[in-house]
Amino acid sequence: MSMKILPAIDIKDGQAVRLFQGDFSQKTVVNPDVLGQAETFRAAGIRMIHVVDLDGALEGRASNRQLISQIKQQTGLAVQVGGGIRSLEQIEDYLAAGIDRVIIGSMAVKDPAFVEAALERFGSSNIVIGIDAKKGLVATEGWLETSSQDYISLALAMEKIGVRLFVYTDVERDGTLTGPNIQHYQRLQAALTHAKVIASGGIQSLADLQELEELGLAGAIVGKAYYSGRVTLSQLREIDEDQPC
């Protein structure tokens, strides 16, 4: 397979957690030691991880910036970060700390000009647009609000201004182990001309990952499937061939 696998660390109150359908009240601590979890990934041969600052998503700022920069410094892993990105200064700070890619979520809906400015200043290789949707409509503010914009129209608008990488999450699948929304990924892939897509949400098995790879997706984020023991790090390492995405 040539799809990039990104194990996930979602940070809430300084701990690695998993949510169910993005619900902050349905939180499970999977490892109280975030740095230890990152080190486990590194030791298994994983090369890139997906880190979400859940506190930041709620508070609209880089709440766990220090801890996230520690992950980078101590493990040397490639790190993609999202959650609470609201300013160019935050993006610049993360990139200066060695973070490889920064995900813009809510601001893509609320202020497309912000995305344009970020692309112009930092380049499309450092900026990822995170599209989270409920029933196809884009969710914002840590998934607490739902906009009237559908995920395809937002993706096309972002691609038009130069975005080349998306993370797409079906919120209702996230943390449920019910399988990814294959139909949504098919539609998104068919609509886009240049940009690539990383899948997130609902992945429960190696078969799911193989199906996503067959669609031609650039990558897949694996969270609960790993933390619940459905897939092992050695299996993920075998799938991931260190393909760039």
Contacts of 113 (CB under 8 A, 6+ apart): none
10 is catalytic: yes
- Residue at token pair 């009237």: 148
- Do residues 9 and 50 make contact, with C-beta atoms less than 8 angstroms apart? yes
187-224 per-position pLDDT tens digit:
999 999 999 999 999 999 999 999 999 999 999 999 99
Whether 143 shows a pLDDT value over 70: the answer reads no
Whether 242 shows a pLDDT value over 80: the answer reads no
Choose, from 132, 170, 174, 240, the residue flagged as catalytic: 132
Question: Degrees (nearest 5) of the Cα angle 104, 107, 86?
Answer: 75
Choose, from 10, 55, 174, 208, the residue flagged as catalytic: 10
pLDDT value at position 72? 98
pLDDT value at position 238? 84
Mean confidence (pLDDT) of the chain? 93
Q: How far is CA 90 from the centre of its chain?
A: 17
Whether 80 shows a pLDDT value over 80: the answer reads yes
Distance in angstroms (rounded) separating the CA atoms of residues 130 and 81: 10
Whether 142 shows a pLDDT value over 70: the answer reads no
33-51 per-position pLDDT tens digit:
999 999 999 999 999 999 9
84-138 per-position pLDDT tens digit:
899 999 999 999 999 999 999 989 999 999 999 999 999 999 999 999 999 999 9
In the chain the domains, ranked by start, together with CATH numbers, are 4-239 (3.20.20.70)
The percentage of residues in the chain with a pLDDT greater than 90, rounded to a whole number, is 80
